[in-house]
Amino acid sequence: MLPRRFPLALCAPGLFAFASLLPAQTPATPPAPHTVTLNDLFRFQDVARPEVSPDGKWVAYTVTTVDTAADKRVTDLWMVSWDGKEDVRLTWKGGVSEDSDDTSSSTAPRWSPDGQYISFLADRSGKDKGAQVWVLDRRGGDAHQLTDVKGDLSAYAWSPDAKKLVLAISPKDEPEQTKKDASDKEKEKPKPIVIDRYHFKEDVEGYLKDNEHTQLWLFDLATQKLDKLTTDTKFDENNAVWSPDGSRIAYVSNHDADPDRSINTDIWVVDAKPNSTPRRLTHYDGPDEGHIVWSPDSQSIAFLRGDPLKLWQYNESKLGVVAADGSSPARILTAKLDRPVSSPAFSPDGQSIQVLVEDDRNQYPASVDIATGQVHREVSGQGTAASLSTRHGCTALVWNSDTQPDEVYALENGSLRKLTHHNDALLAELKLSETRDINAVSRDGRQVHGLITLPPGAQAGTKYPMLLFIHGGPDGQDAHEFEILRQLFAAHGYAVLNVNYRGSSGRGSAWQKAIADDWGHLEVEDLLATVDEAIQQGYADPEKLAIGGWSYGGILTDYTIATTTRFKAASSGAGTGNPLSLYGIDEYILQYDNEIGPPWRDTQKYIALGYPFFHADRIHTPTLFMGGTLDMDVPLVGGEQMYQALRSLNVPAELIVYPGQFHGFTRPSFIRDRYQRWFNWYDKWVLGRTVPHTVRPATQKS
């Protein structure tokens, strides 16, 4: 049952009256702005996930901050009025359980159909039982727990009549070690992990077992009854969304004989009744997925179509639409756009679909006409949009730029109106760096686009030490967005160069796919050409060059220092110089087997792609290797092997091991530690400064 509605507090005016009795304070003179330092790193607030209310009068959203004492990130819920005049915090440090002082994040905000309640996912038990759906009255009062289900509840959605939820639940093992009772310190013995799947590991998720499939369930709010939605039990079912008329639920699933061996997801629709038989709507041999949405009349479903398996790592998502009754095949609306799109949302009249378009160092909202496929860009200027939400004719999104962190904006008549101001006070204290476009010509004559960020107050004609920092993916781009790494290194005295090398998104499908089955070739040529251009334009001192990156950026760092000795220092994070060593070790078995083939078919190809390791004697650049012990995306062994090779060759190297960290770090103290070690390493080898290690929370080998 939904909780009863609580009236707004009537004591608030008294608070203001009390405040008016305090003696007036003379405003202090604000300090002069300072450049960004590591002490500012965790002062920024991450604003995300806007959700417009059904009546269009409010926007719920999340704010993530860092609790440095607990060494964790915490997400809370807020809501802001559509006119931007009222901004209300709804949860505090995620919420505290009654029997524990632990905090947990509150995520996935959703409005009830009548707009009176905001639901969210949180684990407030203090006993690591997993997230449940909670709900609170937007006008005040405590949150009320709606669900109490076993397993890992990862997503949910309201039925239009507010009587049911559809839940995405996967099995969850009990903790390997739990106390039998408060007085018994003996712990249960861990059990062996039995695996028989082709794709058997995933970063964060860990080892995958055959019965660990995400299934859809119907939860009745009045009776608390939980029923399986479909009759399928051996396939993952995700991205469930109700039709506006409440009769059906659409979702994404792969029903191939062995889903682990393909990426062939399709759009399915099922009656919103327990144990219903689903109908398959799309039949493309590849991914039909994404954030699927229904048209207002419940007749059509919009989705995203990706590239086939052989090229799935270089995916350019297209917008598609399909009849919900299966009466006609799917139509791809943005086939001629040659740019990836995301976050589809129907217009109120159902005649167009809003999307986000990733386009050459920017990402902007656009409208796609369903009848013609014509794409209309809705916002001009440089910046990056995310998390589009449209209801009642109102569109909210998150927007950021080179010097503006994420905030929620309203999109109206082709312009953005700022609704939230979580980082304004901090920005007033800071002197930020300028980011400029930079274009170069690669060895084969192709234009390469990138960004260069200069130290605050940079003077024309001054050549700065330069850090080439390479983005991961490779399916991604460096864009005009607020990137703290650029600001920190620029404030530290470096020009920071980011390059959208071939393989990056935002420049068209051919640009992305150019490196398929040929890693470490064209990317390195693009990177070095842009370094040459930065030197030619007078930004960089050619005798003070550094290079680094994370994930594929770490991999490209290894490739580049095996190609040239022009860099004085390098840092390879979560990288590898030898793909042969990661076959069956990381999570990319589908890419190995389908893009380059298994190693027994062409061992020489793997050796050629692994030239940083097999020709490690070409490397003379002092290199810092980093990684997390739980990383199954690019496991630590890739960095360990390259570190060992350089140490064997007496090339200066260090290995920093971060315990308990996945591919993306979650512990704030380790994130700060990583920056400090980067500063120390580059300063030592590029600038000749001897800097003592001031922090050593991670395991270090040197």
* Sign for the pseudo-dihedral over CA of 71, 88, 96, 176: negative
What pLDDT is attached to residue 86? Answer: 96
DSSP state of 595: I
Residue 94 neighbours by CB under 8 Å, 6+ apart: 74, 75, 76, 103, 104, 105, 106, 122, 124
What pLDDT is attached to residue 576? Answer: 97
Let me know: does 188 contact 177? Beta carbons within 8 Å.
yes
Let me know: does 633 contact 604? Beta carbons within 8 Å.
no
Other beta carbons within 10 Å of 10: 7
Residue 473's region, left for phi above 0, alpha for psi from -120 to 50, else beta, is: left
Which among 603, 501, 509 has a CA at the least distance from the CA of 557? 501
Let me know: does 266 contact 284? Beta carbons within 8 Å.
yes
* Sign for the pseudo-dihedral over CA of 656, 657, 663, 668: negative
What pLDDT is attached to residue 124? Answer: 86
What pLDDT is attached to residue 346? Answer: 97
Which among 543, 546, 533, 461 has a CA at the least distance from the CA of 495? 546
Domains and CATH numbers, the chain: 431-701 (3.40.50.1820)
Provide the mean pLDDT of the chain: 91
Residue 490 pLDDT > 90, yes or no?
yes
Tens of pLDDT along 395-442? 999 999 999 999 999 999 999 999 999 999 999 999 999 999 999 999
Q: Which amino acid is at 34?
A: H
Residue 256 pLDDT > 90, yes or no?
yes
Residue 193 neighbours by CB under 8 Å, 6+ apart: 207, 209
What pLDDT is attached to residue 128? Answer: 64
The stretch 329-351 carries a mean pLDDT of: 97
Within 13 Å and on the Cβ side, how many CA atoms surround 94?
27
What pLDDT is attached to residue 31? Answer: 80
Residue 385 pLDDT > 50, yes or no?
yes
What pLDDT is attached to residue 579? Answer: 97
Q: How many helices (H) and strands (E) does the chain have?
A: 11, 43
Which among 236, 281, 276, 288 has a CA at the least distance from the CA of 258? 236
Residue 4 pLDDT > 60, yes or no?
no
The stretch 579-588 carries a mean pLDDT of: 96
Which among 7, 42, 256, 247 has a CA at the least distance from the CA of 116? 7
Let me know: does 128 contact 176? Beta carbons within 8 Å.
no
What pLDDT is attached to residue 99? Answer: 37
Q: Could you give the angle at the alpha carbon of 184 between the alpha carbons of 181 and 187, nearest 5°?
A: 90
**C-alpha 369, offset from chain centre:** 28
User: Residue with structure tokens 């399709």?
Assistant: 266
Q: State how far the Cα of 174 lies from the Cα of 194, in Å rounded to an integer.
A: 15
Tens of pLDDT along 599-643? 999 999 999 999 999 999 999 999 999 999 999 999 999 999 999
Tens of pLDDT along 56-88? 999 999 999 999 999 999 999 999 999 999 999
Tens of pLDDT along 106-154? 999 999 999 999 999 999 876 667 899 999 998 888 899 999 999 999 9
Q: Is 167 exposed, middle or buried (CB count within 10 Å of its CB: 0-12, 13-18, 19+)?
A: buried
